[in-house]
Structure 1
Amino acid sequence: MEQSIGQLLVFFDFFRKNVPGYTTIEKWEEDIDAYDESLSAKTMGQLVKQLSLLKVVDASLEPLLREALVMRNHLAHRFFVDHALNFVSSAGRDHMIHDLEVARELFNKVENILNPITYSLCEKYGLTQEKLKEIERDLFAEAGGDLPESSQSFQRTASGDR
């Protein structure tokens, strides 16, 4: 989910500010790398706030983004503390798994809203589905990947699973 927000920020913030002044590939790479570093240094809350300030996604999505942020923060900072005793029993672990499945459903719901926006922006800037597949194959080959081709896709299904 953080990556989806980051991708939208690249398109709606970085591209808007930098595409008109684009001069060289080297400068572009330097600037986009610096922007990516700045995004990586931000908390999820800061990313959500930055996206919200740009007013590029429907305002009705903001409560869902806040809910996902609260859930993400709970998972990162409190989940195992809150479930310490649950971890020692099968029923408790089942409860933990249920809570994680609820979180996954919420995160997938957000991504299923954000990803089509990102994909349409990719198309706008010439990054077609075919080009994305080509990049994916190249990255996979470069990494020495040995998974079957059907499991390599970055694309998500309607359920949000890979």
Structure 2
Amino acid sequence: MEDESLSQEIKEIYAHFGLAIYQAQCLEHGLVNALVFIDHIPNNRKHATSATEWSESIDSFMESKFEFTLGRMIRELSSVTTIEPGLQNLLSLALKRRNWLAHGYFKDRAEDFLTLKGRAKMLAELQESQELLADADSALEQAVKPAMERIGLTDEVLAAAYKKLRVEAGS
């Protein structure tokens, strides 16, 4: 029974680590989207000569930004718009947390991973990390919302597009 309980605890830690990293990737995508709405669309929409060219332009822009590190994405956003200090602080905390998770978490927690108390600590940290990264993504989304609305991407338009995608996906 103890082996089964230990196995379940370990699986739970890995699952929560995966969710924290997923939240970091959501934030990365949010930053790329922000760059599209704040920088690319306003500065390049007039240059496209067809819908296909415009779509390719956005895809190419996004692809190039996904090659950036999270820190570089944040710096790039700061270079094209003013980021309110509270959001800047949240993005900085999220960057530090993401980097720690990706590059040092399990090394730093190797001893904790061996004990019940340590694993409980790890689980709490990972849940806190998920919340921090999700909060940063949500705050970014709210900050970008006016730029999205200026180009016609209102909540209603986005909800209709999401509904269409779900229908097309068969769910």
Is TM (by shorter chain) over 0.5?
A: yes
* Aligned pairs (5 A) from 1:53-92: 53-92=79-118
* TM-score (ref. length: structure 2): 0.76
Tell me which structure has the larger Cα radius of gyration. 2
Aligned residues: 145
Aligned residues with identical type, % of pairs: 33
* Contact 2:31–2:73, Cα closer than 8 Å, also in 1: yes
Q: Encode CA deviations 1:98-155: one digit per residue, 9 max, x unaligned.
A: 111221232233223211122332222112222211221222233333xxxxxxxxxx
> Taking structure 1 as reference, are residues 142 and 91 closer, same or farther at Cα in structure 2, changes over 3 Å only?
farther
The structure whose residues are more often helix, as a share, is 2
Name the Cα RMSD after superposition: 1.8
Match of 1:131 in 2: 157
> Taking structure 1 as reference, are residues 104 and 110 closer, same or farther at Cα in structure 2, changes over 3 Å only?
same
1:40 is the counterpart of 2:34: no
Higher normalized contact order (CA 8 Å, seq sep 6+, divided by chain length): 2
Where structure 2 has 5 or more consecutive residues not aligned to the other structure, the ranges are 1-26
- In 1, the alpha carbon distance for the partners of 2:94 and 2:168 equals 34
Match of 2:40 in 1: 14
Matched letter for residue 89 of structure 2: P
- In 2, the alpha carbon distance for the partners of 1:94 and 1:144 equals 40
- Which aligned segments of 4 or more residues in structure 1 are displaced greater than 4 angstroms? none
* TM-score (ref. length: structure 1): 0.79
